[in-house]
Amino acid sequence: MTSLFDNYRLGGLTVPNRVVMAPMTRVRAAAGGLATPSMATYYAQRATAGLIVTEGVQPSLVGQSNPGTPGLHTDEQVTAWRPVTDAVHTNGGRIFAQLMHGGRVSHPDTTGMRPVGPSAVPAVGEVFTPTGPRPAPTPRALDTAEVAEHVLSYARAARRAVDAGFDGVELHGANGYLISQFLSSNANLRTDRYGGSVTGRIRFAVEAVSATVEAVGAARTGIRLSPGGTFWGVEERDIPELYTALLTELARLEPAYVHFEATTDEAALIGLRRVWPGTLIMNPVPPMGPKQTGRAEADHWLGLGADLISFGRAFIANPDLVERLRTGLPLAPVDEATYYQGGDAGYLTYPAYQYTA
């Protein structure tokens, strides 16, 4: 059976194990969406992962969802990221930037701009702003002619990511953000070629991946998906049909991987694994649920055909997660109060396992 600690050929990289650090928002960026020295330390501490995928990085200002998140749409942001990627590579790691356009999950208080989306339908719930949670505003529906600009924002950010030293990018097509909104049957009420039918609803995702592949190459491009996920109030009709069509189109582009979240039942995910001919990264437990991914869940999904396994919360409190999984050491608990508080506490203060005589 495949082991979590076997190496693997991922796009243009050979990774030393099948453990992926999942993208997790930590809101520690400086003003202007700049990466910081603390971020370099944070990611370098976790460089034993086969692959690190960063927190969501906005590809444009209007695409910024939360305050305190980093970007890849200015020259200054590229410069700020270089010490981060250098630190990871110095420690022997590999790192992809997750490109996350928030779409309707944003607020003018955060960006100075009205959010955009496939349709003028607000997200469900409150969004984060510099002054605290606020009701999600109604986005401005994109005109057909405008959609291409947002497709290209991923490709432009991908080029900047490569300039900043990243090994590749992951498009955030999950969790109710812009790509997910286009896939949705209730956030996307369009009647043009980007809505209506399954073919229309998958078009934005396919075009975004295609543009990114053209910009930086298929080996440097991945996408994360949450089939059936209901984040921020999105709904998806006909999940098997929708994702079979999407994966069939993506397969023609031969991206480095697809990254699934466990947002629908296992049987449906296994069916989609059979449809997808390429590398699959699997996040085996529902996001933000009561359970964290551990060795048992990882081995289970490797047995079901996943190629790599992503771990989220376990990586926050366990910078040496790969070694702990390899040797059966206990995992340290995470302090949820420090997820988004800023500063180095709960960010750089988790130690590697302390052996005693």
Q: Give the pLDDT mean for 64-75.
A: 98
Query: Is residue 227 in a domain?
Result: yes
Helices (H), 254-340: 266-275, 295-303, 313-317, 321-327
Query: Is residue 91 in a domain?
Result: yes
Q: Give the pLDDT mean for 26-34.
A: 98
CA dist., res. 211 & res. 159, Å (int): 11
Q: Give the pLDDT mean for 211-224.
A: 98
Q: Counting runs of H as helices and runs of E as strands, what totals does the chain give? A: 11, 14
Expressed as residue numbers, the domain containing 83 is 8-338
User: At 149, which amino acid appears?
Assistant: E
Query: Is residue 43 in a domain?
Result: yes
Residue 174 pLDDT > 70: yes
Residue 357 pLDDT > 60: no
The residues that are catalytic are: 177
Answer for the pair 97, 161: CB distance below 8 angstroms, yes or no: yes
CA dist., res. 206 & res. 62, Å (int): 21
Neighbours of 303 (CB within 10 A): 10
Query: Is residue 343 in a domain?
Result: no
Query: Is residue 1 in a domain?
Result: no
Neighbours of 289 (CB within 10 A): 8
Tally the domains of the chain: 1
Nearest CA to 80 among 24, 31, 22?
Answer: 31
Query: Is residue 174 in a domain?
Result: yes
Query: Is residue 356 in a domain?
Result: no
Whichever domain contains 304, its CATH number is 3.20.20.70
Query: Is residue 357 in a domain?
Result: no
CA dist., res. 339 & res. 315, Å (int): 12
Q: Give the pLDDT mean for 339-344.
A: 94
Nearest CA to 334 among 26, 69, 48?
Answer: 26
Q: Give the pLDDT mean for 51-73.
A: 98
